[in-house]
Amino acid sequence: MLVLLSLLSREVHAETSTNEAMTASQMQGAVFLDSLSMPSPGEVFSALNKNCHPSWASLVTPSAAPVSTDRSQLALGVGVLAADGYIAVQAQDGQQVKNIGMEIMAVAKSLGIGKNLMSRGNSLIEFAKNSAWDSLADELEVTESEVKRTMVEQKDHALVTLTSAAAWLRGIDVATKIILADDSLRGISVIRQPQMARQLSSQIEELPERIKRDGLDSKLIKCLDSVAVNLETMGNLPEEERLSLQKIHRESALMVGEIMASPALPLRKMETGIPTASSKP
């Protein structure tokens, strides 16, 4: 056994393997992969945990999937629900994780991809029952990936972009709320990802027209562009940073509310009010 353990050996040391910089064409040709190039909500929240100490329990909101027949809206809804699932895991709220798992299954069914996901839903419920938080976080990521894999299998690749964009935006919505509640705006460096907003915006822009028919997508593009501009032009003075964060939070929360709204029902009540340091989440 010891011999086998030594086979899985490791040596850690710091080094740079080359001094050559990348060429412009190499940078241009770099691959962007939804599953690795984009930070998952869990990754964003993990970084926030190290920079500030959010009270995750106060960030848990009831999550209901939109009642809609619009596949684009449903795909966006899966993204928001996945991010909400990570918040519930951070808050160690088992009931909420179960509820979100059921909502994701319901949306997957409406999208016609529920069959492959039944076992995932059961695993989420089982892990929540046993308070297996790390397994739950892994299972959420796998569930989101499986939804996306099934979308690709059903030649609905465009929907994957929408799910990813919505998950990222919900992550930004929650992250800005957490940072704004901190006097020193700790954690602000985590969300400085304007290139991510730009990337998602241009990916949605390139989606086929049949996907972009209902106006929700153009609102999303506008929102992502605005988030990118605010992240790029954010000053270094605390007041300038606070103003930009407030704007990003307001716009992302409104967009998430629109994604989760059912056409016949009122908008999901999102807390777009600007948190202050005294109203820590």
Give the residue carrying structure tokens 């809804």: 77
State both tokens at 113. Answer: 């991809």
Of residues 189 and 276, the one with the C-beta less far from another protein: 189
User: CB of 69 within 8 A of CB of 88?
Assistant: no
Q: How far apart are CA 237 and CA 280, in angstroms?
A: 21
Of residues 8 and 264, the one with the C-beta less far from another protein: 8
Window 113 to 142, contacts with another protein (CB under 8 A): 119-120, 132, 134-135, 137-138, 141-142
Of residues 61 and 145, the one with the C-beta less far from another protein: 145
Of residues 68 and 230, the one with the C-beta less far from another protein: 230
Window 212 to 251, contacts with another protein (CB under 8 A): none
User: CB of 249 within 8 A of CB of 223?
Assistant: no
Give the residue carrying structure tokens 């999550």: 63
Least distance to another protein from the beta carbon of 141, Å? 5
State both tokens at 147. Answer: 């939804």
Least distance to another protein from the beta carbon of 153, Å? 10
How many other CB atoms are there within 10 angstroms of residue 245's CB atom?
23
Lay out the site mask for another protein across 8-27 (x = CB under 8 A, - = otherwise): xxxxxxxxxxxxxxxxx-xx
User: CB of 65 within 8 A of CB of 107?
Assistant: yes
For 112, residues 6+ apart whose C-beta sits below 8 A from its C-beta are 154
* Start-to-end CA span in the chain (Å): 48
Which of 190, 220, 245, 270: binder of another protein (CB under 8 A)?
A: 190
Rule CB under 8 A: is residue 93 a binding residue for another protein?
Answer: no
Rule CB under 8 A: is residue 278 a binding residue for another protein?
Answer: no
Rule CB under 8 A: is residue 32 a binding residue for another protein?
Answer: yes
With left for phi above 0 and alpha for psi between -120 and 50, is residue 217 left, alpha or beta?
alpha
Least distance to another protein from the beta carbon of 234, Å? 13
Rule CB under 8 A: is residue 2 a binding residue for another protein?
Answer: no
Q: How far apart are CA 178 and CA 268, in angstroms?
A: 20
Q: What is the DSSP letter of 38?
A: S
Which of 40, 99, 161, 244: binder of another protein (CB under 8 A)?
A: 40
Q: How far apart are CA 200 and CA 161, in angstroms?
A: 7
State both tokens at 18. Answer: 């080359």
Rule CB under 8 A: is residue 42 a binding residue for another protein?
Answer: yes
Lay out the site mask for another protein across 160-189 (x = CB under 8 A, - = otherwise): -----------------------------x
Using CB under 8 A as the criterion, which residues of the chain lie in contact with another protein when the complex forms? 1, 4-5, 7-24, 26-27, 29-40, 42-44, 46-48, 50-51, 119-120, 132, 134-135, 137-138, 141-142, 145, 149, 189-193, 195-196
